[in-house]
């Protein structure tokens, strides 16, 4: 009898959780759809009927934010900063994760705990020392300083994530490579790294999404408006539009900054799920 009650409780709880998720997804889709429709209106149409459909698509709203409000430059800055950061994050983290997960040496446990501890340090506590560090080497306020900070702060999580994939690979592969005369470097680059490709892709996707939407570090370490990434450019645009009342342009800017991450979720969600489940199983 008790077991039946527990099953019923868990069934009801699961149903409520699914219902909440359905409602949340429906609300999110409705909100984003409303923003898209509003971005194709004129300001007159928007203030006259905020919930109505546009009489004709106003593509010039997007042209305006890309040219008049320099969002195109901000978009290119985000592509450059985030892409460079993700490439170096994965390139540095993959060998470190392989060594920490597959090799036994003195200090292995300490290094694992050290990187795990790094995941728990709020980056807000590091703003002041990082600022003075960038200032001391003369690159504060540039895109390079932001790229270096993104790389340094993202490495602990990325190492932790990729370790799961390398741990899931069978050790017989390394033994066979050793018998065939492969050294550690060739084993890693020729065998283990290609097999860990799903983990590298998953890590790259997670880092791209988190860095694309990052705001506080970009606002702190980039001073020149021509170097602003999209998040800071949107913040500056919102401040300027408070005085012009051009809300439909602001909605167009919101679509521009949200669309890349949305497309990643739509087209690469299966890759993310498969990568995470693959890394969760140890052979």
Task: Give me the DSSP letters along 147-169.
Answer: HHHHHHHHHHHHHHHHHHHHHHS
Domain count, the chain: 2
Instruction: Report if residue 219 sits inside a domain.
Output: yes
Residues 26, 161, single domain; the answer is no
Same domain, 112 and 12: no
Is 82 within the bounds of a domain? yes
Same domain, 33 and 76: no
Answer yes or no: do 259 and 135 share one domain.
Answer: yes
Domain contains 50: no
Do 32 and 97 sit in the same domain of this protein? no
What pLDDT is attached to residue 8? 54
- Kindly state whether residue 239 falls inside one of the protein's structural domains: yes
CATH code (residue 269): 1.10.3720.10
- Residue 244 CB neighbours (<10 A): 10
- The answer on 20 and 98 residing in a single domain is no
CB 161, CB 279: distance < 8 Å: yes
Q: Tell me if 44 is assigned to some domain.
A: no
Closest CA to 232 of 213, 207, 215: 215
Q: Residue 31: which domain range?
A: 2-39
What pLDDT score does 67 carry?
Answer: 83
Domain check: are 15 and 126 in the same one?
no
- Position 276 confidence tier, pLDDT thresholds 50, 70, 90: low
Residue 143 included in any domain: yes
Which pLDDT tens digit goes with each residue over 26-75? 998 898 899 999 999 998 888 888 888 888 888 988 988 888 888 889 99
- 161 shares a domain with 110: yes
The 10s digit of each residue's pLDDT in 67-123 is 888 888 999 999 999 999 999 999 999 999 999 988 888 888 888 888 888 888 888
Residues of the chain with pLDDT > 90: what percent? 22
Same structural domain, 31 and 132: no
Q: What angle, rounded to 10 degrees, do the helices at 247-279 and 197-212 form?
A: 150
- Provide CB contacts within 8 A for 51, sequence distance 6+: 34
pLDDT tens track for 221-255? 998 888 899 889 888 887 777 677 788 888 888 88
Tell me: do 31 and 171 sit in the same domain: no
Q: Is residue 59 part of a domain?
A: no
Instruction: Tell me how many degrees the CA angle 261-81-98 measures, rounded to the nearest 5.
Output: 85
Domain co-membership, 19 together with 89? no
Question: Are residue 148 and residue 228 in the same domain, yes or no?
Answer: yes
Per-residue pLDDT reduced to its tens digit, 5-16: 544 555 666 678
């Amino acid at each position: 009898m008790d077991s039946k009650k527990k099953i019923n409780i868990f069934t009801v709880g699961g149903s409520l959780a699914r219902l909440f998720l359905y409602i949340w997804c429906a609300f999110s889709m409705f909100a984003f759809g409303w923003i898209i429709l509003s971005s194709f209106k004129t300001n007159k149409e928007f203030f006259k009927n905020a919930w109505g459909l546009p009489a004709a698509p106003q593509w010039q709203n997007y042209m305006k934010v890309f040219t008049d409000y320099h969002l195109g430059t901000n978009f290119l800055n985000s592509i450059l900063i985030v892409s460079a950061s993700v490439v170096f994050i994965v390139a540095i983290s993959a060998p470190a994760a392989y060594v920490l997960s597959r090799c036994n040496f003195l200090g292995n446990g300490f290094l694992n705990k050290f990187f795990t501890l790094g995941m728990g340090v709020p980056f807000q506590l590091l703003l002041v020392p990082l600022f003075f560090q960038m200032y001391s080497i003369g690159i504060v306020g540039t895109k390079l300083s932001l790229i270096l900070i993104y790389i340094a702060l993202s490495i602990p999580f990325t190492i932790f994530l990729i370790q799961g994939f390398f741990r899931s690979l069978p050790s017989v592969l390394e033994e066979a490579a050793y018998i065939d005369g492969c050294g550690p470097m060739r084993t890693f680059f020729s065998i283990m790294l290609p097999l860990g490709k799903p983990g590298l892709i998953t890590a790259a996707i997670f880092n791209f999404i988190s860095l694309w939407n990052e705001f506080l570090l970009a606002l702190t370490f980039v001073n020149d408006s021509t170097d602003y990434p999209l998040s800071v450019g949107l913040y500056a645009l919102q401040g300027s539009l408070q005085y012009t009342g051009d809300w439909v342009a602001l909605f167009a800017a919101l679509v521009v900054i949200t669309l890349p991450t949305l497309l990643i979720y739509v087209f690469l969600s299966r890759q993310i799920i498969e990568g995470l489940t693959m890394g969760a199983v140890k052979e």
